[in-house]
Amino acid sequence: MTDLPVSEPNYPLSELCVLADLSARTLRYYIQIGLVDRPQGETRAARYGPRHLEQLLQIKKWTAAGVSLERIRALLQGEPPPVPPRYQALGSVTVYSHLAVAAGVEVVIDPGRAGLTPEQVRSFVQGVMAAFAAVTVESSADGAAKQEQQ
C-alpha cells in the first residue's frame, strides 16, 4: 500500500470568505494592501490555502481588539510590539493595588499599565487567592501524608 501525498486544502474565494466570515471585497482589499498573501492563480481560478485563512483570522482578531491595519501589517511582518517606557514623569501620580496574599507574599498591581479594568483586577485577585489556597492545601496534605508514612 502506498502513501498518497496529502494536499493542502484549496479554497476558492467564496469558500475562504465563508470560513473567515469576511466579505470578498474585504479580502481583496487586504490582499491589495499587502496584509494577506496573494492567491495561487488569478481571477476565478485563484486558490487560497490554510495560510490565507490563518492570516485572515489573525487580522479579524486584531481588528476586533482595535488594532490599526498599519500596526497589524507590522505585527504580521514580525515586528516586536513596542515596549512602553518604564520611567515615570516627575510629578506623576500612580495608584497601585497591593494584595497581601499571606505573610511574606504580596502582589503589586498597576491596573493602568496592565490595562485592567476594576472588574478584571477583582477577578485577578480572586484567582491569585484561590491559587494560593490550592497550593497551601496541597502542601498541607502532602506533609500529613508523609507523617503518616513514618
| 56 within domain boundaries | yes
> 76, 58 in Cβ contact below 8 A?
yes
Do residues 109 and 54 share a domain? no
Domain tally, the chain:
2
Q: Which residues pair with 40 in a beta bridge?
A: 47
pLDDT for residue 5: 47
| 29 within domain boundaries | yes
| 90 within domain boundaries | no
pLDDT for residue 8: 64
Task: Specify the CATH number for the domain of residue 71.
Answer: 1.10.1660.10
Q: pLDDT tens digits, residue range 128-150? A: 999 999 988 776 666 555 566 66
Encoded amino acid at 124, one letter? F
Do residues 111 and 145 share a domain? yes
Q: Residue 62 is part of which domain span? A: 13-76
pLDDT for residue 2: 47
pTM for the predicted model, two decimal places = 0.48
Do residues 69 and 103 share a domain? no
Q: pLDDT tens digits, residue range 1-37? A: 445 444 566 888 889 999 999 999 999 999 999 889 8
Encoded amino acid at 128, one letter? V
pLDDT for residue 85: 56
Look at the alpha carbons of 69, 70, 71, 72 in this order and tell me if their dihedral is positive or negative.
positive
Do residues 102 and 67 share a domain? no
